[in-house]
Structure 1
Amino acid sequence: MLYCFKSKAGADVIMMADSADAVLRLMGREPAPKGILETADLPGLVQALEAGVAEDEAQFQRAVDAAKAAGEHPPRRQGVSLRQRAWPLRDLMQRSHREGADVVWGV
């Protein structure tokens, strides 16, 4: 399944379901086939998303530091990072807030 996040403020952001589900959960939203991120809620949702991405990066950095301390090869990120997946939606949400537009999907 694909999620297509839409807003009058910018281009659509398309994500695979597993990535979109993770991003929605970071924002405190339950994944659903249809939904809306209302303009008034966008600043708090962006903040929650940024905090989740920062925690993901900190957790990876702790794993790298622990491996180095143990004299092992540090782990490498596999695939696309959470930041890379989430940032297009974050940008759309910020643009939408500035322009007073909601972000919707599944409609």
Structure 2
Amino acid sequence: MEDITVEELKERLDKNEIFPFIDVREEWEYEEDNLGALNIPLSTLPHQLSEIEKHKGEEIIVHCRSGARSGNAKKFLETKGYYKVRNVLGGIIAYRNLEE
């Protein structure tokens, strides 16, 4: 599925849309700054799939610091049958730059 821009993500968050939203950064990164997504670090994602299983047929948005780890998370989830995964291009860095 096509990735998502930070502009589109911000618009959806500003509208208080409800959607499966996962932050794949490490816990310490999440604690420093987050967008309110569910924190499942990329390294533990294979062991925590049960937490998102109910969203398998839904659009899932994943993000990280710059978009690299979440890109890997998207690829991994696609191998597990999650076909509506969208990576946030530029990650939280691009999102925070948008706000400035």
Could you state the TM-score of these two structures normalised by the residue count of structure 1?
A: 0.28
Structure with a larger share of its residues in strand: 1
* Greater RCO, 1 or 2 (C-alpha within 8 Å, sep 6+): 1
Could you state the TM-score of these two structures normalised by the residue count of structure 2?
A: 0.29
**Larger-gyration structure (1/2):** 1
